Structure 1
Amino acid sequence: MKFGKNNAEVEVNMPTRGALFQAVRERFAQGRGFALATLNLDHLTKLPHEPAFASAYRAQDLVVADGRPIIWLSQIARQPLELMPGSDLVIPLTELAAEMAMPVALMGSSDAALAGAKAALEARVPSVNIVLAHAPPYGFDPTGAAAKEICEMLNASGARLCFIALGAPKQELFAAFARDKAPAVGFASIGAGLDFLSGHQVRAPKIMRALALEWLWRALQSPVRMVPRYAKCFAILPGLAAEAWRKR
């Protein structure tokens, strides 16, 4: 299903978890990299106003639906999608990488968060081979010299799967940039996924996630940052719902 208009249009081309993991398995087996993005409502507020972000999204090989509003919009359009938050994909992708002997790299916000995430992944998936954990410097340019150096590090490490936990749009910009520089690596943009694993951020309880209230939990945890973001998200929902209805 496609969301947005004109140059900001994005297609969720992996509608189910089964389709996603089959695609990743095939790319691992063929030695082909990929860029995986998890589309949410916040991304849809940014895409029309940030041409570089929109261009980076068009360069993603695999796009899944992340967030209840995306799922509801797909249901309105009668093109239902399966919910796949980036945070929920970390362990299954790690398990698949371990099963196929694909080395893993972690890229995130801080050395402490990455150390905690590494320990958590190794505890959950003992056979995983984490060959690199790197926190970019403050002010990191996802398409600059430091990004190129990281690509060289990834190539030298032998990593085949790299989790990027930098937040949007930085992680998607880096994935699009690195996709050509490290063609054998699969880049998965997973937001706060590594911070949740390490305990540096606390994810909403399961009951709140089941009730589609994770947004409220995050707003209460960080109101100054999250309330304006969610206000923009709610503002575009009516137009998106009308567009989805026209696609029925």
Structure 2
Amino acid sequence: MQFTIKGQTISVNVPTWAGLEARVEACLVDRKGFALATINLDHLVKLNTNKNFRDAYLRQDFVVADGNPIVWMSRLAGKPVQLIPGSDAILPLSRIAARHQVPVAFVGSTDESLQAAKAFLETVVPGLNVALCLSPPMGFDPLGAEAEAVLRQVEASGAGLCFVAFGAPKQEILSAFGREIAPSVGFASIGAGLDFFGGSQKRAPEWARSLAMEWLWRMVNNPRRLTVRYLKCFLILPRQVLQALALRVRKEL
């Protein structure tokens, strides 16, 4: 599945859970860095208006589908992909890191949330070693000197996998920068995932997720922040659907 944005193509290049786990495991075993992004409609909105975000996305090694609309459009395009939310990727990737004794770092969110997530994950994932929890201050520039210092700390900690929890576009921009500064580290952008494990945010209940209604549950619980965001997402849907149909037509020719 691919998207054309400002003349540039961004592809979901890891379509399945099995593929993601295999590719991450190979990188961790070889201590080879990577950047992982989880694309959704909100990202597509931001990619249309933020050049730094587009540049960062083009430098991601792995892109997976985070959001049912992306999955549905992939089926429409005849190139089906599985739903792989960043939050759901934390546990399986942590298990891979633990299995190969690769230390992990947490960057973003708040120190309290990161420490709580560390305590939880080290309990439920035997052998997991969270070597660093780092919460930069508000206004943190993911391309500035502070970002470089953070990335150097991640590298110095010995971490081979770093979960980046800022939200888009900051986390993807930092992860792309990390590929330059700490090339042996894998950076996975996971949004609020660590906050869910740390208990500072509550994820939508299972019934809402199973009905593909997590977005509505979130909007009802935080209308001031999310109503406009989701409206923008709905407004780009027609164009994205047409792009998916065009991909299907080209495939069938």
TM-score, normalising length from structure 1?
Answer: 0.98
| SS at 1:132 equivalent | strand
| Paired letter, 2:105 | A
Q: Distance in 2 between matches of 1:184 and 1:10?
A: 24
2:115, 2:214 → 1: CA distance?
26
Gaps of at least 5 residues in structure 1 are: none
Alignment correspondent of 2:245: 245
CA contact (8 A) 2:13 2:63 kept: yes
- In structure 1, the residue matched to 2:251 is none
Unaligned runs of 5+ residues in structure 2 are: 249-253
Deviation of residue 28 (structure 1)? 1.2
Supply the distance in 2 between the matched residues of 1:72 and 1:99 (Cα, whole angstroms).
Answer: 34
Deviation at 1:6, TM superposition (A): 3.9
Partner of 1:195: 195
Matched residue type, 2:228:
P
2:73 matched to 1:73?
A: yes
Q: For residue 8 of structure 1, report the CA deviation from its aligned partner.
A: 4.5
The one-letter amino acid of 1:112's match is E
Q: How does 1:148-159 map to 2 (within 5 A)?
A: 148-159=148-159
Give the deviation of 1:178 after TM superposition: 1.1
- CA positional deviation for 1:2: 0.7
| CA distance in structure 2 between the aligned counterparts of 1:109 and 1:130, rounded to whole angstroms | 15
- Where does residue 96 of structure 2 map in the other structure? 96
Hey, what's the Cα distance between the residues in 2 that align with 1:237 and 1:8? Answer: 18
Q: Does 1:37 align with 2:22?
A: no
Show the counterpart of 1:14: 14
Q: Is the 8 A contact 1:36 1:62 kept in 2?
A: yes
User: Alignment length, in residue pairs?
Assistant: 248
Structure 2 distance, partners of 1:87, 1:4, is: 26
- Identity across the alignment (%): 51
> CA offsets, 1:189-211, max 9 Å, x none?
00000011111110000010000
| Structure-1 residue corresponding to 2:125 | 125
Structure 1: distance between partners of 2:156 and 2:60 = 23
Tell me how far apart the structure 2 counterparts of residues 42 and 100 of structure 1 sit (CA, whole Å).
34
